[in-house]
């Protein structure tokens, strides 16, 4: 079974959805670590409750991204982490982690990328007045939500939708889509020709 780390910065509802999928047997992975860049994030409480080890850090305690990612890489290797799932981790991944985990880092974003990348994608969609947005799961590269798209699901924006109602609809989709995509990615068999 592949050992994954989940990176989060806030509430951690997508972390929880992965945990539930592992517990009910639909996601055959081991969640070996929760990484969090905000020591007060609710995601850490969830991990403690679920018995998932955590590593949390404050970027301001380091001289920069290279220094904290070098420390992070050592921790990930110590825990035997093979794959990284970003779930509401609100930082760009730098070259230290990208090179060590090439093609093995995915992210979920609350829009139909390439529309509305970056922060507050839900607010951006509402401000633009579009009648449809959605959820994207993609590989992570050095850009802001620019990596290769793996899966997308559209969601209608209805008259009267607010950022709260839209976030609720988006997260309901995320909590089903993300574990399913991670399962598919990690169970795809690599064929070897002998
Ligand atoms: C999720 O909706 C995720 O798509 C979004 O943050 C939320 C985290 O929720 N991510 C981004 O906006 C990344 N650019 P959670 O902490 O409850 O899982």
**192 domain-assigned:** no
Q: What is the pLDDT of residue 86?
A: 98
**66 domain-assigned:** yes
Q: What is the pLDDT of residue 193?
A: 57
Nearest CA to ligand 1 atom 12: 109
**84 domain-assigned:** yes
**178 domain-assigned:** yes
Kindly list the averaged pLDDT for each block of 10 residues, start to end, along the chain of length 194: 97 98 97 97 98 97 97 98 97 98 98 97 98 98 96 97 98 98 85 54
Q: How far is Cα 57 from Cα 72, in angstroms, rounded to an integer?
A: 9
Residue 14 has φ and ψ, to the nearest 5°, of -70, -35
Nearest ligand 1 atom to the CA of 16 is: 18
Q: What is the pLDDT of residue 157?
A: 98
**191 domain-assigned:** no
Nearest ligand 1 atom to the CA of 120 is: 12
Q: From ligand 1's centre to the CA of 109, what distance in Å?
A: 6
Q: How far is Cα 28 from Cα 161, in angstroms, rounded to an integer?
A: 36
Query: What are 25's two structure tokens?
Result: 């047997």
**21 domain-assigned:** yes
Q: Nearest-CA neighbor of 91 among 64, 125, 128, 130?
A: 64
Contact 68, 111 (CB under 8 A): no
Query: What are 97's two structure tokens?
Result: 């982690």
Q: Where in the sequence is the domain holding 101, given as residue range(s)?
A: 2-186
Q: What is the pLDDT of residue 192?
A: 55
User: Residue 155 pairs with which residues in a beta bridge?
Assistant: 133
Q: CB under 6 Å to ligand 1: residues? A: 8, 10-14, 87-88, 108-110, 121, 145, 170-171, 174
Contact 125, 156 (CB under 8 A): no
**160 domain-assigned:** yes
**Into how many domains does the chain fold?**
1
Best residue among 12, 21, 86, 88 to mutate for probing ligand 1's pocket (most ligand atoms within 8 Å of CB) is: 88
CATH assignment at residue 39? 3.40.50.170
Q: What does each C-alpha distance from 157 to 153, 167, 173 come to in angstroms?
A: 13, 11, 14
Q: What is the pLDDT of residue 188?
A: 66
Q: Is 109 a catalytic residue?
A: yes
Q: From ligand 1's centre to the CA of 176, what distance in Å?
A: 14
**194 domain-assigned:** no
* 184: exposed, middle or buried (Cβ count in 10 Å: 0-12, 13-18, 19+): exposed
Nearest ligand 1 atom to the CA of 15 is: 18
Q: Nearest-CA neighbor of 30 among 100, 79, 87?
A: 79
Counting other chains too, the contacts that 183-187 makes at CB distance below 8 Å and 24 or more residues apart are 183/21, 183/26, 183/27, 183/28, 183/29, 185/83, 185/106, 185/150, 186/2, 186/4, 186/28, 186/29, 186/83, 187/28
Q: Is the dihedral of CA 133, 11, 103, 25 positive or negative?
A: negative
Global confidence as pTM: 0.95
């Amino acid at each position: 079974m592949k050992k994954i780390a989940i990176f989060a910065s806030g509430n951690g509802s997508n972390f929880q959805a992965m945990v539930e999928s592992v517990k009910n047997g639909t996601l055959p992975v081991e969640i070996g670590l929760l990484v969090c860049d905000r020591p007060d994030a609710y995601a850490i409480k969830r991990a403690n409750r679920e018995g998932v080890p955590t590593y949390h850090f404050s970027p301001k305690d380091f001289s920069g991204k290279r220094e904290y990612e070098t420390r992070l890489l050592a921790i990930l290797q110590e825990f035997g982490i093979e794959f990284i799932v970003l779930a509401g981790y609100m930082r760009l991944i730098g070259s230290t982690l990208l090179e060590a985990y090439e093609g093995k880092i995915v992210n979920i974003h609350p829009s139909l990328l390439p529309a509305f990348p970056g922060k507050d994608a839900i607010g951006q969609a509402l401000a633009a007045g579009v009648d449809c947005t959605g959820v994207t799961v993609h590989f992570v590269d050095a850009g802001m939500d620019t990596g290769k798209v793996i899966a997308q699901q559209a969601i209608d924006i209805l008259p009267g939708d607010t950022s709260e109602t839209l976030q609720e609809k988006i997260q309901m989709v995320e909590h089903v889509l993300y574990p399913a995509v991670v399962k598919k990615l990690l169970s795809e068999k690599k064929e070897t020709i002998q």
